[in-house]
Chain A
Amino acid sequence: MISTSLIALIPLLPIFTFIFIALFGRKYMPAYCGALGTISIGTSFLLALKVAFDYFTIEGKKDAAGMLTDTYHQIIPFKITWLQFSPNLSIDIGILLDPISIMMIVIVTFISLMVHFYSLGYMKGEERYATYYSFLSLFTFSMLGLVLSSNIFQIYIFWELVGVSSFLLIGYYFDKPSAVAASKKAFIVTRFADLGFLIGILVLAYYSQTLDFQTLIKCLTTDTPQHANIVAASFMGASALTWGLVLVFIGGAGKSAMFPLHVWLPDAMEGPTPVSALIHAATMVVAGVYLVARLFPVFSLSCPPALEIVAWVGISSSLFAAIIACTQTDIKRVLAYSTMSQIGYMMFALGVSGYGGENGLGYMASMFHLFTHAMFKALLFLGAGSVIHYVHSNEMKDMGGLKKLMPITHITFLIACLAIAGIPPFAGFFSKEEILHAAYHDNKIIFVIAIVTAAITAFYMFRLYFNIFWNKEYHASTHNEHHNTHDTHTEHSKNAHEAPATMLIPLVILAALSALTGFIPFGKLVSSDGKALITEFNPVFSIAPVLLASIGIFIAYAFYKKANPKALQVQDSIKGFYVAAYHKFYIDEIYIFVTKKVLFNLVGKPAAWIDRNIVDGLINLVASITEIIAFLIRRIQSGRVQQYAAYFFAGLLGFVLLFVYLWK
């Protein structure tokens, strides 16, 4: 039996750490907060491992009667009713264990542990070091709460909490205007998307009369009156079910930075680099994928059109972000777009998947990719952090030739690049392979786009790699005037060594995992219906993707291995397109235009006018009338006792007359 208190401790440890650091640690023992946070999350990670081990070996396979089966069941070890609206409809706070939530708690606690550990070195000497760790703990708690939610409203609560912690961490350097702007942008854009999520929840809950995931899924996938109602109700040509799911997906798309709600993610790179690794690469941004996966049976069995939308949004974001990533020069932004592209991969993998058995390949592949991506993307970000720590700049032009100076970072970064490019035998190869398989069986157009994206991915990742580690000789002296670094550090010493051990150890661990996790028999553990999904490896199929990825790498090699004009020549030949991609296809400008020009002038200004003149005017009118009357009658209060006595007697006389003569 999985102990309830053990599971509850996994999210509770970080929140206790957060409270402790925020209330006491920050003031009395700021230097030890980092170690405290790391130990706490380390314990959480060990507990998560234990829970995962118990679940996947024995507990998960027990059915309701306690008999061992070959299917993984959902377990709810803990649930309390929090707000009861009607006998069926209540907001519960509970823990739901199934393969994906277990996988997520392992990923979240593990990456969080790596980032906590890494930050010990990276954030050393920061003024708000303790605050940083308290925010990290808050985020970890929120994310764990999100993935363990047993209720769609509970997930929404934690959804907002991760939004807040992301906001706090992006705006960590709050004295920099760009960081403040980025944190606000991230918060507002995701909040806007969450509005869709909330309406989606309300639509689904209204028709299905429940907020509980298990009941909701059961109710909307089987032949029930609620299911008939929600399909029958239609609005603008689509059923209420489609609307509900699409709205929920909008929330997921906002959090997962899917086109066109991706604008916040590149800007979010203003935060400290380990934060980008944790929140904006490995955990929070995959919350959208997780949400769709959580509701996957409903999407797949009851509403294929909504799933179609998921697929197309995913694949278009994937390609779109990959193209932009090729043109960016800020290394963290390249990684941000790469994240967006990879999440697009996970999304469309869900989109092309079916439910159950062989059809569920896409689902399993998506989760697999989520898992491997968390490893190598966290590694890429932490590696980039190490480079930034060394060079004190985010720009590619300030780097180059670092391979000798930072050997460990170099090797681990190379492994991560190979993994994300999908070169066997690294992790990314296996998960991408499954995704492409799923796409191939479902939709050939998506498959073609996906494979092209894979080639572009390989190209831009190796463009990044060669630009950082090869290209030209590194001259430390030329960089001293560059203080446009995104993370402020103490002055860079002349004979700088590679990053401290606290930063290198996570890199090595993650590199080992990026190389090896591909061999996990993932289908046996995670699948759409809980039954083991055996995937056979097909070498013939993988020739094309690997070949394309190799071509991408080769082009990057030719362009960027040594400083040469080839890349510039190609740039010039497609100048218009290049400039557009460099400016991220002007999506930000469109947003600015819509919000500042259109919304501000057409809605904001008239609304402000009405507020200032009509709403405020009414209130002011009432106030002035009161004031005038008060001014007129205030003389009555003269301060003279005898005058008051006269009023009193006059009043008394009045009452006497009233009662004696008029009140018969």
Chain B
Amino acid sequence: MNEIGLSQVLFVSCALFFIGIYGFLTRRNMITMLMSVELILNSVNINFIAFNKYLFAHKLDGLFFTLFIITIAAAEASVAIAIIINLYRNYHTIDVEEVDTMKF
């Protein structure tokens, strides 16, 4: 049984990324879309950790960046939820398909 290599980890992160993209583009519920964005961010985190561990094991830059991203993600989530709440107050829905007044 081989040890888990870099390519396996990257495969997971890649899968996670595209699942996130798919969810972001297809889900109509804004909460779900927010969750998809979290998936995308986490796939990036996994990438950072993996590269740090397998290629530059003596450095900590990847870990720092991951921590940064987690912080930013928290902030982003709060902003996004604020937007969703405002949206709900104005439209009584959180379905993005319903909210398309900013157009031609």
Contact = CB atoms under 8 A, between A and B. Distances in A.
Interface of A: 634-635, 637-642, 645-646, 649
B38 to A, nearest CB: 15
B102 interface: yes
B11 to A, nearest CB: 18
Given A649-B21, A649-B25, A642 B100 contact: no
Contacts of B25: 642, 645-646, 649
B35 to A, nearest CB: 15
A638 B24 CA distance: 17
B100 A640 contact: yes
A254 to B, nearest CB: 59
17 contacts: A635-B104, A638-B100, A638-B103, A639-B99, A639-B100, A639-B101, A639-B102, A639-B104, A640-B97, A640-B100, A640-B103, A642-B25, A642-B96, A645-B24, A645-B25, A646-B25, A649-B25
Contacts of B101: 639
Contact of B96 (A635, A637, A641, A646): A641
Contacts of B100: 638-640
Identify which of A634, A637, A638, A641 gathers the most chain B CB atoms within 10 Å of its CB.
A641
Interface residues of B, number: 13
A102 to B, nearest CB: 74
Contacts of A640: 96-97, 100, 103
Interface string B23-34: 011100000010
Residue from B25, B26, B99, B103 with most neighbouring chain A CB atoms (10 Å): B103
Interface in B32-54: 33
Contacts of B104: 634-635, 637-639
B90 to A, nearest CB: 15
A642 B103 CA distance: 13
Nearest to A642: B25
Given A638-B104, A642-B25, A646-B25, 5 more contacts: A635-B104, A638-B103, A639-B102, A641-B96, A641-B99
Contacts of A646: 25
Contacts of B97: 640
Contacts of A639: 99-104
Contacts of A645: 24-25
Interface string B83-101: 0000000000000110111
A637 B101 CA distance: 11
Q: Nearest 7 pairs between A and B by C-beta?
A: A639-B103, A639-B100, A634-B104, A639-B102, A640-B100, A637-B104, A641-B96
A637 to B, nearest CB: 5
Nearest to B24: A645
Nearest to B103: A639
A11 to B, nearest CB: 62
A638 B33 CA distance: 19
B103 to A, nearest CB: 3
A634 B104 CA distance: 6
B99 to A, nearest CB: 8
Contacts of B26: 642
Contacts of A634: 104
A642 B24 contact: yes
A213 to B, nearest CB: 66
Contacts of B102: 639
Nearest to A633: B104
A381 B96 CA distance: 85
Contacts of A637: 103-104
A640 B96 CA distance: 7
A634 B102 CA distance: 12
Nearest to B28: A642
Nearest to A635: B104
Contacts of A649: 21, 25
Contacts of B21: 649
A639 B103 CA distance: 4
A646 B104 CA distance: 18
A137 to B, nearest CB: 59
A207 to B, nearest CB: 63
Nearest to B97: A640
Nearest to B101: A639
Contacts of A635: 104
Nearest to B100: A639
Nearest to A640: B100
A634 B103 CA distance: 9
Contacts of B99: 639, 641
A648 B89 CA distance: 28
Contacts of A638: 100, 103-104
A653 to B, nearest CB: 10
A67 B25 CA distance: 99
B98 to A, nearest CB: 10
A649 B24 CA distance: 11
Nearest to B27: A642
B82 to A, nearest CB: 16
A135 B102 CA distance: 57
Nearest to B26: A642
A639 B99 CA distance: 8
